[in-house]
Amino acid sequence: MIRKNTVLTLLLLLGLTSSFAQPVPGLDENIPHLVTFGSDGDVAWGDDSFCQIIFFKIPESYSDPIYLHVFDPDVGGTIDEQKGKWDTQMSYSVFGGKGAWSEKDAQNMVMDGNYDSGTLLASKEFGEVSKYDGKWYTFGPFNPSEGELRSEFGGYVFKIIIEGISGDDGNLYNLYLSNHADRNHDVEGASAFYYKYKFRLHDDIHEVAHIYPHIDEKVVSIKQTNFDWDNDGRIQIVSLARLGDELMAISGDSKWVSSTHKIYEDEKTNSLDLQMIKNQSGNIKSNNVVIYLENQYGEKLPFFSIPIGEFKYQSEIGFEGF
């Protein structure tokens, strides 16, 4: 029931949100790259499961072919993180059809479960391929109806799984949902969302990264969990009800940490802006991190590449005469 309410709320809000850009990480997130390590990597390097799952939602009314572009899909060259020699194989798999999103193991990234649910639409492995170093690779075309039709989302849902097959290098990459095969062009009304996010923080201490978890009306508290933050700065909560005064716990090197936070009424059906600010006197580079949020029932909350609803602080000035 909670899940149903959540998605219904999302549906309503998605209808109100003008979503024209589908890069992942999103423009508002200001995150340089997603990251996935080879399966022989050390979790201490910032990837706890060597896998990333990203969902895309396409409006039901959209009928043109869509493409999924991957920037720097190979593992080698200038962007990726080398551990010893380049020896990593990375798998990209696009899923649609029944179960692609609705399978709970996919949402919860249960790696020994049925996370790769749905119908496999396309798959490709990359190693060190200089042709794609710093370049885009295109999956597709896909017919939107190949996704999983979910009435609560008002459209079709696709899933891409990026998984380290072998090796120990870190793969840094970006995604873009497009309606053109050879360039990035937005699919109107589409959006990306994810339940567990693995990415690279900026090296520049002045850059602030953001993620925007959506808070549905049933959420009364959230528990955030992050991994391998290297104590690099802070995560502060900004929302309709908070001006950054409340901080979330951040983890140390190769450590997990959690903190629980109350949700205010104003925040329901809107988003939080979790601002990730680096240590202003530190010099931590190439910091790969993992973060996810759960509601009071232990259900993971989705982050959206384009924030849903309001997330900027709005004061409520009071006057008491005397």
Partner 1 sequence: MLRLLSTILLSVVILSGDLLAQEVKITPLSFNNKYSEELFPCYIDSSLIFASNRRSSIVKNYSDESDNLLFHLYITKLHPDSTWSNPQELDNTLNIPFNNGQIWFTRGGDTAYVTRNQYDTYGKSKKSRSGNGLGIFVSTKNRLGNWSIPKTLPINSQGNYNTGQPTLSPDGKLMFFVSDMNNGYGKTDIFYSENINGTWSAPQNMGSIINTPGTEITPYFHPSGKLYFASDGLGGAGGLDIFFTLQTEDGWTDPVNVGEPYNSPGNDYAYFIASHEAWGFFTSDRSGVDDIYRADPRYPLFDNISPQKEIKFCGSLFDRKMSDKNMARFVFKWDMGDGNVLMGKKVDHCYKKPGKYHVELRVSDKQGFIKEDYVSFFDLNIKRKIQIYISSPDTVRINSAIDFNTARSFFGDFVPDTFYWNFGDGFKTKGSNVTYTFRKPGVYTVSCGAFSKTQPDETMCNSKKIVVTE
Binding site for partner 1 (CB under 8 A): 208, 234, 236, 238, 241-246, 264, 266, 275, 277, 280, 313-322
Residues in a beta bridge with 226: 257, 291
Query: How far are the Cα atoms of 52, 53, 88, 110, 268 from residue 41, in angstroms, in the given order?
Result: 14, 18, 9, 19, 39
Residue 242 vs 300, nearer CB to partner 1? 242
Residue 112 vs 316, nearer CB to partner 1? 316
∠ CA 7-102-90, nearest 5°, is: 115
DSSP state of 81: B
Residue 78 vs 280, nearer CB to partner 1? 280
Residue 48 vs 207, nearer CB to partner 1? 207
Q: Closest distance between partner 1 and the C-beta of residue 233, in Å?
A: 9
Residue 27 vs 243, nearer CB to partner 1? 243
How many whole angstroms separate alpha carbon 185 and alpha carbon 57?
16
Q: Closest distance between partner 1 and the C-beta of residue 274, in Å?
A: 13
Q: Closest distance between partner 1 and the C-beta of residue 312, in Å?
A: 9
Query: How far are the Cα atoms of 25, 122, 139, 163, 273 from residue 36, in angstroms, in the given order?
Result: 14, 19, 18, 7, 24
Residue 254 vs 279, nearer CB to partner 1? 279
Q: Closest distance between partner 1 and the C-beta of residue 257, in Å?
A: 19
How many whole angstroms separate alpha carbon 135 and alpha carbon 154?
33
- Residue identified by tokens 């609705």 is 102
Residue burial 48-83, b: 16+ Cβ < 10 Å; e: rest: bbbbbbbbbbbbbebeeebbbbbbbbbbbbebbbeb
The amino acid at 276: M
Decide: 16 and 217 in contact? Cβ < 8 Å: no
Task: Report the half-sphere exposure of 119 (CA within 13 A, side-chain side).
Answer: 11
Residue 180 vs 234, nearer CB to partner 1? 234
Decide: 52 and 166 in contact? Cβ < 8 Å: no
Q: Closest distance between partner 1 and the C-beta of residue 28, in Å?
A: 15
Other residues' Cβ atoms within 10 Å of the Cβ of residue 315: 7
Q: Closest distance between partner 1 and the C-beta of residue 74, in Å?
A: 36
Q: Closest distance between partner 1 and the C-beta of residue 205, in Å?
A: 11
Residue 239 vs 288, nearer CB to partner 1? 239
